[in-house]
Amino acid sequence: MPATPEPPTDRPPALRRAALGTADISFFVVSAAAPLTVMAGVAPVAILLGGIGAPAGYLLAGLTLAVFAVGFTTMSRHVRSSGGAFYAYVARGLGKRVGIGAALLALVGYNGMEIGVYGLLGTTTADTAHALAGLDVPWLPVSLAGLALIWYGGFRSIDFGAKVLGVLLVAETGILVLLAGGVLLKGGAHGLSAGSFAPGAVLVPGTAAVLAFAFAAFTGFESTVIYRREARDPDRTIPRATYIAVAFLGLFYAFIVWTVIQAFGAEEVVAAAAEDPGGLFFAAITTYVGPWAADLMHLFIVTSVIASLLAFHNAINRYALALAEEGVLPAALGRVHPRHRSPYFAGLVQTALGAVIVLAFALAGADPYQQLLLWVNTPGMIGLMALMLLAAIAVPVYFRRTAHTEGPWRTVVAPIAAALLLAVAICLVVSKVGLFTMASTTVNTVLVALVPAVFLAGLGLAHRLETRRPETYARFAAEPATDVPEGEQPCPLPTPSSPEPASVPSTRPAPRPAR
């Protein structure tokens, strides 16, 4: 359905208000996580490392992120600047310097999570073409075509993107539900068992690695707050979408992994995962549903990757738009399309950046999976986890300084617990980074070091803004006086500088499906 033309106005166009409901935002968030790609690609490795207790790892990760969501969704009702971007939360709690560091961390992290996945798009499409038609398709043209397709999806209106993601998400989750239904109807290999959730199965040395993979599988769920301006009744919609996304992903991941364990049997599944990790899910659905379902799974993995790319692309564009409005990025990135009401110029620049990086890896002869995907995604994933840690720390600090009527569970207990759990999660991911990158110690050190380096660069940018552009620095992450009417660009009011507190220092690596 074509977009309704906007009435003539002298004001610059802005993002479309009240365009997204709870379901729409949930589609963006869950699609970014790419459930089918995570399950078919990553879950076999989790089973290989953690045994039959792997499903519990996804539940534990989901529980941790649900606790984190308590604090930041509570704060979302109080922080309305910057379109709800996470850096605004950090700035309001920990100071503008740390907030600008967090902004740069977010921008680099989300770009890393998206751009690396173009390598995955090329390899999964090539693998699917070979598996279904025996064709050898080069990865680079597919990745470049994907860049153009995702640019167009981000160029169109946000409700157009929500509809596309809704269809693709139903497809990729539907094929997994079909697999699970086949296993349950036939009773698995040796009958159904809850042994995966027994303490003896969960408390094993490999659980740490499973948790690292599980946390990575949720990357992107925090992006609900980015859509605050475009949400209907955001004080209700944003928290609902966040909790729905976390609950769905945690329970769905655990359920699907458990059903695949039942499909092979507790004694045989680890050996099957070791023999052919990329083919584990395809073998299971072929046995319990039929070869035609395996063919569909191949196709839907490609669409799953496309959905993830579009979700991250939309999130990146809105971050860039917010930072342009703040004056941190060039003002041109704040242009909004007059008809589609999308941050089209930010999308064009982000697509160009993606094309440069993809072409650079291709010209260097790099592997699109092991290097473009894993090397670009991994620091992005760690960066976004660090961003969540900063946000969790910011919540109790903010509420300690602000008059409010919120309870201590939401403003103190849950955020502090989430900060501790996220710190542990980051340590787990960093300690197991070789499982994500398949790279040498030197490469891993560089990739991990990129995260604090980006944050420190953000602190340097903050110092530069404070000394050379004090008006911009004073405006950063400031709260608007009132809600901005439809069609107007938000214009945060300058606020006096306050003493700064001390600085506080996505995607999914997956074995390639078997051809």
Answer yes or no: are the C-beta atoms of 35 and 249 closer than 8 Å. Answer: yes
One-character DSSP codes across 309-370: HHHHHHHHHHHHHHHHHHTSS-GGGG---TTT-S-HHHHHHHHHHHHHHHHHHHHTT--III
Q: Give the type of residue at 408.
A: P
Most trustworthy range by pLDDT among 8-17, 206-215, 432-441, 494-503: 432-441
**Residue 506 pLDDT > 50:** no
Please give the backbone phi and psi of residue 20, each rounded to the nearest 5 degrees, phi first. Answer: -120, 130
DSSP 229: T
Please give the backbone phi and psi of residue 232, each rounded to the nearest 5 degrees, phi first. Answer: -80, 130
**Residue 214 pLDDT > 80:** yes
Find the angle CA(448)-CA(451)-CA(456) to the nearest 5 degrees: 135
> pLDDT grade, residue 161 (50/70/90)?
confident
Distance CA 261, CA 455 (A): 41
Mean pLDDT to the nearest integer, 449-474: 95
Mean pLDDT to the nearest integer, 384-400: 93
Mean pLDDT of the chain: 86
**Residue 165 pLDDT > 60:** yes
Answer yes or no: are the C-beta atoms of 288 and 183 closer than 8 Å. Answer: yes
**Residue 490 pLDDT > 50:** no
Burial 112-142 (b: 16+ CB within 10 A, else e): bbbbbbbbbbbbbbbbbbebeeeeeeebbeb
Asked whether the whole model's pTM tops 0.75, one would answer yes
Q: Give the type of residue at 472.
A: T
Mean pLDDT to the nearest integer, 486-502: 40
Answer yes or no: are the C-beta atoms of 513 and 301 closer than 8 Å. Answer: yes
pLDDT at 483: 43
Rg (CA), the chain: 22
Find the angle CA(375)-CA(141)-CA(312) to the nearest 5 degrees: 50
pLDDT tens-place string over residues 118-141? 999 999 999 999 999 999 999 999
pLDDT at 423: 94
pLDDT at 344: 92
Query: Residue ranges per domain, the chain?
Result: 22-475
Answer yes or no: are the C-beta atoms of 494 and 474 closer than 8 Å. Answer: yes
Say how many Å lie between the first and final Cα of the chain, rounded. 39
Mean pLDDT to the nearest integer, 343-370: 95
Answer yes or no: are the C-beta atoms of 336 and 321 closer than 8 Å. Answer: yes
pLDDT at 229: 82
Q: Which 3-state string (H, E, C) describes 183-227?
A: HHHHCCCCCCCCHHHCHHHHCCCCHHHHHHHHHHCCCCHHHHHHH
Q: Tell the CATH superfamily of the 22-475 domain.
A: Amino acid/polyamine transporter I (1.20.1740.10)
Percent of the chain with pLDDT over 90: 59
Instruction: Give 19 or 293, the one with higher predicted confidence.
Output: 293
Q: Give the type of residue at 55.
A: P
**Residue 450 pLDDT > 60:** yes
pLDDT at 316: 92
**Residue 20 three-state SS:** strand
**Residue 510 pLDDT > 70:** no
Among candidate residues 228, 226, 230, 234, the one with its CA nearest the CA of residue 106: 226
Among candidate residues 81, 503, 50, 54, the one with its CA nearest the CA of residue 326: 81
pLDDT at 138: 95
Instruction: Give 84 or 37, the one with higher predicted confidence.
Output: 37
Q: Give the type of residue at 190.
A: H
pLDDT at 82: 56
Most trustworthy range by pLDDT among 204-218, 280-294, 483-497: 280-294
Burial label for 424, CB within 10 Å (0-12, 13-18, 19+), is middle
pLDDT at 247: 92
Among candidate residues 242, 216, 238, the one with its CA nearest the CA of residue 229: 238
Mean pLDDT to the nearest integer, 410-426: 94
Burial 492-501 (b: 16+ CB within 10 A, else e): beeeeeeeee
pLDDT at 280: 93
pLDDT at 221: 75
Among candidate residues 105, 103, 100, 89, the one with its CA nearest the CA of residue 411: 89
The pair of structure tokens assigned to 416 is: 């502090």
Burial label for 291, CB within 10 Å (0-12, 13-18, 19+), is exposed
**Residue 511 three-state SS:** coil
Q: Give the type of residue at 193.
A: S
Among candidate residues 466, 433, 463, 435, the one with its CA nearest the CA of residue 451: 433
Distance CA 357, CA 341 (A): 28
Answer yes or no: are the C-beta atoms of 124 and 513 closer than 8 Å. Answer: yes
